[in-house]
Structure 1
Amino acid sequence: MPTVSAVNLTTPLLLLLLWAIHPSMATNWLSLARLPRSRPVSGDAPCARLRGLSSGQVGVCRARGEVMESVRKAAEMVIEECQHQFRNRRWNCSTTPRGINVFGKVLHQGTREAAFVHALSSAAVAMAVTRACSRGELERCGCDRKVRGVSPEGFQWSGCSDNLSYGVAFSQTFVDEQERAKGLSAGRPLMNIHNNEAGRKAILHNMQVECKCHGVSGSCELRTCWKVMPPFRRVGAVLKERFDGATEVRLTRIGSRTALLPRDPQVKPPAARDLVYLAPSPDFCHLDPDNGIPGTAGRRCNGTSRLAPDGCELVCCGPGYRAGRAEVVQRCSCKFSWCCSVRCQQCKNTVTIHTCRV
């Protein structure tokens, strides 16, 4: 039997073995968010040393290094937005203190949570790269010059429209790379590719139009307009809605190909913008360090709500919750001073705080 040092690390057999051990390595690039801002993320040597990137993603880094700072920003966007959208859920996108598995092993199964993070990640890369294009930070792209002429509404297309097509193309190249490398005949790669594309479509279907008026005294006789991406918060909210309505699917062979079809035959097949998942989620109630699940013990919850996701009965699971009194300092008696400041007093109030029992 060969020793580890004698194994060719690029052999398909070993790549398949690594896929079996770490089925969600495609999201490990999120660990770029842990890098200090002063550390470069491009160039042959830095690219090879970036933990969490697949061999194909290292190749993208070397070939298109100017874009990698946008990828780092995208990783930061994913963590921040995930934690905002799930702040009141049992799984609140808590991160591990170190390592390349930013969300622990929660994403190593084909759950709803994995579906959401994949969709959010592909959208974040597309948006971060597109923003860099519009700001003139990248040599290979700029504004979308294809948006020209007069619109059916009668305004003139002009200005710097966001070049979303370039950002989407890079997201497909970078984020989808490892899924394509594994082949699209297995359930997880197909699931991840579908959800990655759903994330990018959440941007496309929520593009906005900004305009500027031209004319005497602001008469707006002529309007020039351009297309801009929605705020990332909006994209996160759309994908959160898709998470709540995600479709459980199973791998099905149709003739010579495989596809993901609803596990329940009475459920309609998911659309391209829908999220899909293969496995039920854990309950996230109890501490599970091996999988990066902190549990809900000690979490604050809403003691006045029974049905909302942040309600104590839903968040705290079996152990229940307790109420305590705490003193908080808040701004009060605020007055506007001419010109132009607001002066407030500091008031102490005693409030009831509900927390999950340990």
Structure 2
Amino acid sequence: MLIPRRFQRTSVALSVLLIFFLLDIRIVFCVINLGAEVFCNRLPGLTQKQREMCKTSPDAMVAVGDGIRLATEECKYQFRHHRWNCTGIENPSSFGHVVVVGSREAAFTYAISSAGVAYAVTASCARGNISACGCAPGPKMREPGPSGWKWGGCSVDINYGIRFARKFMDAREFEGDERSLMNLHNNKAGRKAVKLNLFTECKCHGVSGSCTMKTCWKTLPNFRQVGDSLMKKYYKAKPVAATSAQPGPRGLDAQRKPKKVNLVLKKGRIPVKKMPKKSELVFLQMSPNYCERDLASGSLGTVGRACNRTSKGMNGCNMMCCGRGYNTHQFTKTEQCRCKFHWCCEVTCDTCSEKTEEYTCK
């Protein structure tokens, strides 16, 4: 089945990002030492802007790979009990098909990927692995801390991480169609989630362990916190439609000045004159049910997926298997048990057997 050109472009660009995920980091370092220009020129599918960024910031490319890996693992964790569970996104040949439909799942995938890159680049800056950044500058005088403590230490340079992730990740969205606008919006929401989840860490100073003064700095949260935040936004994602921001030009001006297009919220099938919030996830199309394999819509199906026979939720066999039924697999697990230590020096154990059952969708 032929895939529209704009989706093919998305597939190629995302597949390239997955190259960084699949490469061993030590190999990347070796390539960087041999020559960033050779390395970047040989990577297929990068836009010209991404290629230039790769050449000028090869140390940051390692962080990009870390960020994609982090995002992939988090995506799989968050969707582990869903019919679509991010399976296949680490495979460059199928990743683009998984997110080919502009659905909620695509929205989350773009947001978590952008968040992962911003997070990893920021963390790499804090560790001193990127020469162009380090600690963030201190807050301005109009932002004093509470009484008894002051800003100090090394706050993470989140602004550099966000800027780099924006330039690199957004560079692939160059067509200006509604899908590109959707991707750009969700990219931004992902980066924003990282910044909103920063927290303040402090160290006490004073005589005999007293805390008469504290030095505080901003630091990154655990990435799970970012994933949890974006998952909440996934459930509340807003349907949108593309609309012209102003009437299009006429005559010769129509060829010189194309209409500006924005995303606006939809109520049912009717667009309303209200733009989504920058922190919200947005989608263009309703998600498929993901019951049957259909790569054209991004569904890998649920045949063979493990399920919980007693659960009434999404991971329950009834929901996961879409009413097709499930297979029962019985296993006998044998292990040592009731071990005792005898003086001196012997350990004796009994052998215990336990029967277990697993269930997979038909």
Band of TM-score, shorter chain: 0.7 to 0.9
1:251 aligns with 2:242: yes
Per-residue deviation, 1:47: 0.6
How far does the alpha carbon of each residue in 1:165-200 deviate from its partner, in whole angstroms, 9 at most, with x for none? 000000111001121x323xx201110111001001
Distance 2:286 2:58 in 1: 38
Would the alpha carbon gap of residues 95 and 346 (structure 1) be closer, same or farther in structure 2, given more than 3 Å must change?
farther
In structure 2, the residue matched to 1:127 is: 119
Describe the SS at the equivalent of 1:170: helix
Distance 1:322 1:353 in 2: 8
Q: Which runs of 5+ in 2 are unaligned?
A: 248-259, 341-348
The amino acid of 1:37's aligned partner reads: I
Conserved? CA contact 1:31–1:75, under 8 Å: no
Conserved? CA contact 1:250–1:260, under 8 Å: yes
In structure 1, the residue matched to 2:250 is: none
Structure 2 residue corresponding to 1:31, chosen from 13, 19, 29 = 19
Would the alpha carbon gap of residues 331 and 230 (structure 1) be closer, same or farther in structure 2, given more than 3 Å must change?
farther
Distance 1:90 1:310 in 2: 8
Percent identical residues: 40
In structure 2, the residue matched to 1:138 is: 130
Structure 1 residue corresponding to 2:95, chosen from 103, 116, 126 = 103
In structure 2, the residue matched to 1:70 is: 63
1:273 aligns with 2:279: yes
Per-residue deviation, 1:57: 1.1
In structure 2, the residue matched to 1:22 is: 9
Describe the SS at the equivalent of 1:200: helix
Q: Tell me the C-alpha RMSD between the 2 structures.
A: 2.8
Per-residue deviation, 1:326: 2.6
Structure 2 residue corresponding to 1:242, chosen from 184, 209, 233 = 233
Conserved? CA contact 2:202–2:214, under 8 Å: yes
How far does the alpha carbon of each residue in 1:1-57 deviate from its partner, in whole angstroms, 9 at most, with x for none? xxxxxxxxxxxxxxxx95364345442312321123332364111112223422321
If the length of structure 2 is used for normalisation, what is the TM-score? 0.82
Distance 2:120 2:50 in 1: 17
In structure 1, the residue matched to 2:148 is: 154
Conserved? CA contact 2:104–2:287, under 8 Å: yes
How far does the alpha carbon of each residue in 1:124-167 deviate from its partner, in whole angstroms, 9 at most, with x for none? 11111111111111111101122377403531111111100000
In structure 2, the residue matched to 1:112 is: 104
Describe the SS at the equivalent of 1:263: strand
How far does the alpha carbon of each residue in 1:88-145 deviate from its partner, in whole angstroms, 9 at most, with x for none? 11111112685x3452402122111111111011111111111111111111110112
Per-residue deviation, 1:330: 7.5
Describe the SS at the equivalent of 1:160: coil
Per-residue deviation, 1:347: 5.1
Describe the SS at the equivalent of 1:83: helix
Would the alpha carbon gap of residues 278 and 351 (structure 1) be closer, same or farther in structure 2, given more than 3 Å must change?
same
The amino acid of 1:35's aligned partner reads: L
Distance 2:166 2:190 in 1: 11
Distance 1:110 1:291 in 2: 9
If the length of structure 1 is used for normalisation, what is the TM-score? 0.83
Q: Which has the larger radius of gyration?
A: 2
